[in-house]
Chain A
Amino acid sequence: MGANAVTIKNFAFAPATLTVKAGTKVTWSNTDPDAHTVTSKQGSGGPLQSTALATNDAYSYTFTQPGSYAYYCTIHPFMTATVVVTA
């Protein structure tokens, strides 16, 4: 797992907080037998909006602006995590 990768396993995003530099492309990979999404928290105006990721599906997004990006899985909303983007 690289410094720009998030693994979805056992209904959790790992790492729960990922810190990257602006311009980094982050990739989420679903290793679970159920589907998950990577979706910015409601009302946060964030950019993350994956489709439902089936087993072994991946989703990527390149962060250009520094900030803290909270996200969750809309199917299992108790799954939450954050990407922190530094300048």
Chain B
Amino acid sequence: MTEDTRDSNGDGEHGMTRRQLMRHSAWFGGAVVLTVVAGEVISHIPGSASAAPASSADLRFVQVSDSHIGFQGPANMDVTGTFADAINQVNSLGFRPDFVMHSGDLTHLSTPDEFDQVKQMMSQLDTDRVFTVPGEHDSIGDNGPRAYRQAFGSNTVGDGWYSFDTHGVHFIALVNTLHLEQLGHLGNDQIDFVRRDIAGLSSDTPIVIFSHIPLFAMYPAWGWGTDDAVQLLSMFRRFSSVTCLNGHVHQLFSKTEGNITFHSARPTCYPFPKPGQGPAPLPQVLPAGRLKDALGIRTVNYWQGNHALAVKDTKLA
């Protein structure tokens, strides 16, 4: 088995060397070490203990993202097929995840038919609970947010946000795809919700925050950031471990800022270019047979008593 340490902004053959990683982290202010073992990417914060075997984890959950059901085009002629493959891969993990989170852009055009289809498909997931956050593609026009909340909004408050606890971890699921001006946006109602939500938590409670659009400035010129994220994240400085999991950018990317670690997930539909490569975040058409290398699912393991979570990204089989 080969083992290789890669920078978080490079997966597979585009990974950087250790020296490039250090330079890169100086520029971005932090980095996450990704360990690539037999095609799997396991991340941990530099200096933290490396991951124990997944089978011993107390909590195991899955993140899938950006299925874009309804998309048609050369970048992926069968988004339903690749999302079905992702679901099969989750169901073949060899363990039953405690829950599955879809981190948004479930649909491409926010139509009721697309929401029906993606909901139907996710009911095939072999897990206790399925959670979602909306993407901007699930929030189009006046009808999009309405259709999303009709399909997925039960047990949420405000415009669709919520929180829950399991295995000692506190999870917060946010909506940052409404009232957009340039970037993702949370709004004061939601920030107030979070303030009240975390007020009683002890600072050693591990926190996981889900949002569709990244809560860090990954590439604002393409809308890859959230304009009021700093207000939100400043409330989390007292916690020992905060993990933010997002979609939207259709590629792996991880970074650390102090106690907060951010992980952008692979999509199940089609990749976008790396930040600033090309004129726009256009769906990338890959050579025949290469699409699945850019798609994938993410599993996250947690051992009670630890602070950090182990995030593992796997390509679509």
A contact residues vs B (CB 8 Å cutoff): 10-12, 32-35, 37, 42, 49, 51-52, 54-55, 74-78
Contacts and interface: CB of A to CB of B under 8 A. Distances in A.
A74 B223 contact: no
Interface string B64-92: 00000000111100000000000000000
A52 B282 contact: no
A76 B223 contact: yes
A11 B281 CA distance: 8
Contacts of B280: 10-12, 32
B270 to A, nearest CB: 9
Contacts of B136: 74-76
B285 to A, nearest CB: 8
Give chain B's interface secondary structure class. loop
Interface residues of B, number: 25
Contact of A52 (B74, B110, B281): B110
Interface stretch (B38-46, B96-104, B175-183): B175-183
Contacts of A35: 108-109, 137, 140
Interface string B257-298: 000000000000000000000011111000000000000000
B109 A52 contact: yes
Interface in B101-154: 108-110, 136-137, 139-141
B221 interface: yes
Nearest to A77: B180
B141 A77 contact: no
A45 to B, nearest CB: 16
Given A11-B279, A12-B280, A78-B182, A52 B141 contact: yes
A51 to B, nearest CB: 7
Given A33-B75, A54-B72, A54-B109, A78 B222 contact: yes
Contact of B221 (A37, A74, A77, A78): A78
A74 B180 contact: yes
A42 B75 CA distance: 32
Contacts of A54: 72, 109
B182 A77 contact: yes
Given A32-B282, A52-B109, A52-B141, 14 more contacts: A11-B222, A11-B279, A12-B280, A33-B74, A33-B282, A37-B140, A37-B141, A49-B141, A55-B73, A74-B180, A75-B136, A77-B182, A78-B221, A78-B223
